[in-house]
Structure 1
């Protein structure tokens, strides 16, 4: 305990402050999970339907900042996001530090807030779920009376 305390005092004297939730910051490109509005991973960036869905809802991201993994290999999507952000005056940041990983489940694009928003669902497929197919409602069957069943039998 005293070693931790002396180490902490020594770091504070040097101006070094410990980082909160370092594992979470590595996963979310330096941000925290509680600040994320929408997330796309590196595998989702390669899906044209999801990328067009992201670009289609770019107006929803006003007031947020977009963090882009600078190490992703899909330059077309990267350029499209940068162009759309510039056109709509949405701030974006390319992240090229140690948090920008290229695994399929690592973050590629994040829409983040400056303050905590604590959204339960942040994956793009959950935030903008595909529209369910519309089916015709069947007319409810007319309920037959007891007497009809008694004299005419069940069909």
Structure 2
């Protein structure tokens, strides 16, 4: 399709048209259909998902890793080491105008369209937290009257 004068003027005033700008802000410059794996900012700061990332890196050696530039660089050390170990490209994305809940995004340059459940880290609740291991607190009245329950 041929561009007319109005298209050139609009592009000059507002910039080039961008596909899915909301998704690009959320997924650190890429779109959802290209994403293989994500970690939230909190997970990155707590150094979670390293084993899962290493597994994903082995499964997808051609993907690249995008790191959120709004997070202090020292939190990325274990993730950068994994990327370097497996010769995966990583880039820090600094976009002060956009806020993203994600701290790390692993994506391709083309669409792969994985399901939402497969791209997020599944934080498993520790099942070994039994109430039998916890000591029962006695109520005020049991302490007062010496009840042995």
- 1:70 CA drift (Å): 2.0
CA 1:47–1:8: 2 relative to 1, 3 Å: same
Rounded Cα–Cα distance in structure 1 between residues aligned with 2:115 and 2:103 = 19
Over residues 61-98 of structure 1, what are the superposed CA-to-partner deviations in whole Å (9 max), with x where a residue is unaligned? Answer: 311000011221361x4111112211211111111123
**Gapped runs of 5+ residues in structure 2?**
128-149
Equivalent pair of 2:50/2:78 in contact (CA under 8 Å): no
**How many residue pairs are counted as aligned between the two chains?**
120
Structure 1 length as normaliser, TM-score? 0.64
Over residues 34-72 of structure 1, what are the superposed CA-to-partner deviations in whole Å (9 max), with x where a residue is unaligned? Answer: 100001111122344x33333442423311000011221
**Gapped runs of 5+ residues in structure 1?**
134-155
Structure 2 length as normaliser, TM-score? 0.66
Choose the corresponding residue for 1:83, options 77, 81, 84.
81
Bigger Cα Rg: 1
Question: What is aligned with 2:58?
Answer: 59
Question: What is aligned with 1:142?
Answer: none
RMSD (Å), alpha carbons: 3.0
Matched, 1:40 2:39: yes
Equivalent pair of 2:65/2:88 in contact (CA under 8 Å): yes
